[in-house]
């Protein structure tokens, strides 16, 4: 029904709005921890933040994934007395090796993103990270068999790329000595994070089709982050890339709050948006971090000033979000229209009989 598709689209857009705000705030907090907080340890911060995702394992039974439609996992059971009772199918558990592969992709995406914040401003980082929509489009064609010649997604990606270029080529001017000194390494790391994220979202859609398993999967990412992060921390300490050091209580409190809200909660909500909309919709939606990060840089942190040309880039990005979301909505309507209900064929819904047969 159209109502179901509309509900999914609106819910997905609302979740994306929360994710965008949380991501920008988290990026600003991380950069402040590196600079004003004097804890320049991006690897340690990443490992600690992602390891806290194990909290989702303890809470997964209390988290319900909204799907905006009737629960497809419910079937009818018929008891010996002839009374029909609903029964829920067991969730589809993803293979363990696929969960570890997803965790490695997510760890790489978050690590490169956090390190890039040492060498780029929040605004520039957001612009480059938004290129994930281009990588997502490419991976969606290869992995998810998305149609190659659809005008809407191609136009949306082109609009997004153009908007990103406008903002990236007209970077805001620094207003204080505390502003990060940008260099090419930060740009490369931000683009690498965008590539990892694009691959991750497509694989998440492909390997975790059951929405009820998202909390479990992201909880397992905490285990993966610990398994990969501890050897990486030791390697960085031995090689001198990042010496191990305990944070102060103030730094620890800021890191913990940012990890719970900016990593655990936002990562879970992002996965909800990916499933409710599509990987490409979520990637283009994250491009809205560009204008928001510029406002944060200029008004809240007071680090940069920007001109009216950014409004053009922001408008293009916003138009891309609306276009790709509307295209996804129409695709969902087409898929629902292709499904012929048993009642329309004059057939009753099959019942599973409980008890002995006569």
pLDDT for 248-305, tens place per residue? 888 889 889 988 988 888 878 887 887 787 766 776 777 778 778 877 877 777 766 7
Structure confidence by residue, pLDDT tens digits, 10-46 = 888 888 889 989 988 888 888 878 777 678 888 999 9
Query: CA–CA separation, 199 vs 283, rounded Å?
Result: 11
Instruction: Give the pLDDT confidence score for residue 290 in this predicted structure.
Output: 76
User: Does residue 75 carry a pLDDT above 50?
Assistant: no
Instruction: Give the pLDDT confidence score for residue 332 in this predicted structure.
Output: 62
Instruction: Give the pLDDT confidence score for residue 323 in this predicted structure.
Output: 80
Instruction: Give the pLDDT confidence score for residue 76 in this predicted structure.
Output: 42
Task: Provide the pLDDT confidence category of residue 72 given band limits of 50, 70 and 90.
Answer: very low
DSSP string, 26-92: HHHHHHHHHTTT----HHHHHHHHHHGGGHHHHHGGG-----SS--TTEEEEE-TTS-EEEEEPPP-
H/E element, 215: helix 214-239
Q: Name the average pLDDT for the chain.
A: 76
User: Does residue 74 carry a pLDDT above 50?
Assistant: no
Using alpha carbons, select from 288, 330, 10 the residue that is nearest to residue 151. Answer: 330
Query: CA–CA separation, 160 vs 146, rounded Å?
Result: 19
Rg (CA), the chain: 22
Using alpha carbons, select from 271, 114, 128 the residue that is nearest to residue 207. Answer: 271
């Amino acid at each position: 029904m159209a109502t179901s598709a509309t509900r999914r689209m609106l819910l997905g857009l609302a979740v994306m709005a929360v994710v965008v705000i949380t991501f920008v705030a988290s990026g600003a907090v991380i950069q402040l921890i590196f600079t004003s907080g004097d804890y320049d340890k991006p690897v340690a911060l990443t490992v600690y933040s992602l390891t806290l995702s194990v909290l989702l394992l303890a809470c997964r039974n209390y988290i319900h994934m909204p799907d905006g439609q009737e629960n497809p996992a419910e079937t009818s059971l018929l008891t010996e007395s002839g009374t029909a009772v609903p029964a829920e199918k067991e969730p589809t558990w993803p293979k363990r090796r696929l969960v570890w592969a997803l965790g490695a992709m997510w760890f790489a995406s978050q690590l490169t993103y956090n390190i890039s914040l040492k060498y780029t401003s929040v605004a520039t980082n957001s612009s480059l990270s938004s290129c994930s929509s281009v990588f997502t489009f490419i991976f969606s064609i290869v992995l998810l068999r998305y149609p190659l010649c659809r005008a809407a997604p191609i136009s949306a990606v082109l609009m997004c790329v153009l908007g990103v270029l406008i903002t990236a080529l007209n970077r805001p001017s620094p207003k204080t000595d505390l502003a990060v000194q940008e260099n090419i390494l930060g740009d490369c790391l931000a683009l690498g994070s965008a590539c990892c994220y694009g691959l991750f979202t497509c694989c998440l859609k492909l390997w975790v089709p059951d929405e009820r398993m998202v909390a479990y999967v992201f909880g397992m990412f905490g285990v993966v982050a610990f398994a990969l992060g501890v050897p990486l921390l030791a390697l960085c300490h031995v090689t001198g890339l990042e010496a191990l050091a305990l944070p102060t209580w103030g730094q620890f409190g800021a890191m913990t709050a940012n990890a719970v809200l900016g990593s655990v909660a936002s990562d879970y909500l992002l996965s909800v948006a990916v499933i409710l909309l599509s990987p490409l919709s979520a990637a283009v939606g994250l491009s809205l971090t560009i204008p928001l990060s510029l406002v944060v840089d200029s008004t809240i942190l007071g680090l940069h000033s920007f001109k009216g040309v950014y409004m053009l880039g922001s408008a293009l990005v916003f138009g891309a979000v609306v276009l790709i979301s509307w295209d996804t909505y129409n695709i969902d309507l087409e898929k629902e229209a292709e499904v012929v209900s048993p009642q329309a064929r004059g057939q009753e819904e099959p019942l599973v009989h409980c008890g002995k047969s006569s």
